[in-house]
Amino acid sequence: MELDKMDENDWKYHGEGNKSLVVSHVLLSRVLRLLKYPAEDSENPPQTAEQAFRQIQNIVDFSSNVMSSLLGEKFIHSGEVVKLPLEFVRQLSIKVQHHRPAWRCDKVMDIYSGCALCLPNLTSPAIHQPTHTPPLCVEIKPKCGFLPSPKHVSKDIKTKVCRFCMHQHYKVANGKWKRRSLYCPLDLFSGNRQRMHFAIRHLIEEPQNNFKIFKGGQCIYSSKEGGDDSLDLNSLLHHLRPYFLYGNNRINGHMTSKAALNDFIQVLVNALLSGGDGGVVTERQGEGRSFCEASVFHRERIHHGSQGLPSDSVLFRILQTQMLDTLDIEGLYPLYRRVEQHLQDFPKERTRLQIDGPYNEVFLGKLQKCPAEDDGSVEYAVAKVHQYRVAMTAKDCSIMVALVPSSEEEEDDEGLSSQRRLRDFISRTPALSYSVSILDLDPKPFDSIPRQLRLDQKIVSCYLRTGGTLPKGSLSPLSGIFTPAERDDRTLLFHPV
């Protein structure tokens, strides 16, 4: 990719979040991630080109020096900062504008700094051969996988119902989503195959912002925020069937819809549990904190116990990093206030305490060597705040599972060296090679902590006010695939891998 010969016609709109917009190259397996500003700042950018460069470099450093050490290098793609020609960026902004969702257009793309983050396009792996069936890529935003300790929370409900399930009620009440998702992160992080299968099924049923499926780099299945569009499961099944033609649940040689869907979910479960390094299965810390009372999966339905997560699996690494939040936002806030007061008295200390970076080995050391007990110092408070910010990043990250069809006789070449061969269910062709990656690893701002406390209070009070009930029509109507009988049948058969 020659930066001095950039052509906006080689790039297309890929998607966007709250703080950045992503475009992908039409031929190369590359994406560019560009910053966004509030629309009112479009004529007067809120930061200089040097500040924009430093902001993106901070994202790279945080990912490569901090999150990579905690989550495992094999899962992380940190990317690099690139400086683009300004005319290319301006033309690109014009080109992608009509592809953007209307509700995202309160912000505009940064066309002044020319800075962007260049990353591999994980939805379209470079190892894919154009002559083969295009790869599938599944994006899962798992959210927080444990309940807080009762020691630090003011409302007992927080130790019984997980943050995600409570937040669903708040989002429906405020009209962000029409329907509640029955997905519960504690089921996915349980390591129990039944619960994980159940969780992924509900992600498919009501994806919201937590589940997307890409085929050959094109998004073929997702939700639109605030929209009432019905999801086309039949279309999804049409896409999935060619990848699972050799399943062992066929009727008269015909792959049933339910079988294709179950095979697909089982492949995802296998990928999420496999680390490829032969890690031991680890019992969950504090098993009582891994069941959510709002989950519609009943614990008495578990037939084989809770297996826990393999220690080299992506879910285990994410969960361990999330659990750096030992105090909950309520227990952390007094420590945040201690740091804030210190910075008001000694503003120059902000640099020494690395409040805004740099995110290097020293920063990592501070949060890893935090004393067990509070000694009243500002250093202790800063270390706990840093731990909380890292945990928040892990609670908001995305897992990308790429599934690449390959024939049985294909040898693992150099392009597949970082992949694992997936032998799902029984030996059969075509096999699926897979890779697992973690995205969305930006540092959370120090100054966002008061806002997070206010949101937490709103979510809990809304849940308590409604008694955990929702208005009629707020549960998903998708029953073509998930019939009531199937919803109630939690008994799943798994073949050895």
Rounded CA separation 364/493 (Å): 43
Phi, psi of 83 (to 5 degrees): -110, 115
For residue 15, the surrounding DSSP H or E stretch is: strand 11-16
Domain count, the chain: 2
Pairing of the two strands 115-120 and 218-221: unpaired
- Lowest mean pLDDT segment, chosen from 82-86, 230-234, 311-315: 230-234
pLDDT for 45 equals 81
Enter the tokens of residue 332. 């952390």
Count of beta carbons in the 10 Å neighbourhood of residue 205: 22
Q: Are 417 and 366 in contact (CB under 8 A)?
A: no
Enter the tokens of residue 220. 């073929």
Rounded CA separation 391/325 (Å): 6
Single residue among 63, 94, 120 that ends a domain in this structure: 120
Same domain assignment for residues 63 and 186: no
Same domain assignment for residues 150 and 195: yes
Q: Are 257 and 481 in contact (CB under 8 A)?
A: yes
Angle at 389 between CA 385 and CA 295, to 5 degrees: 115
> Is 420 within the bounds of a domain?
yes
> Is 435 within the bounds of a domain?
yes
For residue 463, the surrounding DSSP H or E stretch is: helix 449-466
By the 10 Å C-beta count (0-12 exposed, 13-18 middle, 19+ buried), 304 is classed as: exposed
Query: To the nearest whole number, what is the mean pLDDT of the chain?
Result: 84
Q: Are 59 and 33 in contact (CB under 8 A)?
A: no
Single residue among 92, 120, 148 that ends a domain in this structure: 120
Angle at 420 between CA 282 and CA 274, to 5 degrees: 15
- Lowest mean pLDDT segment, chosen from 96-105, 342-351, 387-396: 96-105
State how far the alpha carbon of 435 is from the alpha carbons of 63, 70, 122, 337, 403, in Å.
19, 19, 9, 42, 7
Enter the tokens of residue 245. 């033609």
Rounded CA separation 114/335 (Å): 38
* Residue 206 banded pLDDT, cuts 50, 70, 90: very high
Same domain assignment for residues 61 and 190: no
Residue 13 has pLDDT above 80, yes or no: yes
Q: Per-residue DSSP letters for 382-404?
A: HHHHHHHHHHHHHHT-EEEEEEE
Same domain assignment for residues 115 and 30: yes
- Can you give the C-alpha Rg of the chain in angstroms? 23
pLDDT for 225 equals 60
Same domain assignment for residues 196 and 307: yes
Q: Comparing 103 with 374, which gets the higher pLDDT?
A: 374
Same domain assignment for residues 319 and 176: yes
For residue 165, the surrounding DSSP H or E stretch is: helix 163-173
> Is 69 within the bounds of a domain?
yes
> Is 109 within the bounds of a domain?
yes
> Is 329 within the bounds of a domain?
no
Same domain assignment for residues 110 and 147: no
Enter the tokens of residue 4. 């001095």
Residue 353 has pLDDT above 60, yes or no: yes
Same domain assignment for residues 463 and 416: yes
> Is 344 within the bounds of a domain?
no
What is the domain range of residue 102?
Answer: 3-120
pLDDT for 282 equals 52
**What are residue 431's DSSP bridge partners?**
406
Amino acid at 83: K
Count of beta carbons in the 10 Å neighbourhood of residue 454: 11
**Cis peptide bond upstream of 430, omega within 30:** yes
Single residue among 55, 87, 120 that ends a domain in this structure: 120
Strand order, beta sheet including 431-439: 218-221, 211-215, 136-140, 398-406, 431-439, 420-422
pLDDT for 265 equals 94
Angle at 21 between CA 16 and CA 27, to 5 degrees: 100
Crossing angle of helices 233-240/257-273, nearest 10°?
A: 70
Enter the tokens of residue 263. 């095979």
Give the CATH number for residue 74.
3.30.200.110
Residue 365 has pLDDT above 90, yes or no: yes
Q: Comparing 213 with 242, which gets the higher pLDDT?
A: 213
Residues 226-238: tens digit of each pLDDT: 555 567 788 898 8
**pTM of the predicted model, to two decimals?**
0.88
Residues 6+ apart with CB under 8 A from 171: 177
Same domain assignment for residues 39 and 86: yes
Same domain assignment for residues 105 and 162: no
pLDDT for 288 equals 54
List the one residue out of 474, 475, 416, 432 whose CA is nearest residue 138.
Answer: 432
Rounded CA separation 183/208 (Å): 10
Q: What is the mean pLDDT of residues 315-321?
A: 97
Q: What is the mean pLDDT of residues 299-315?
A: 76
Same domain assignment for residues 455 and 481: yes
> Is 311 within the bounds of a domain?
yes
> Is 380 within the bounds of a domain?
no
Rounded CA separation 215/123 (Å): 8
Same domain assignment for residues 22 and 90: yes
pLDDT for 228 equals 52
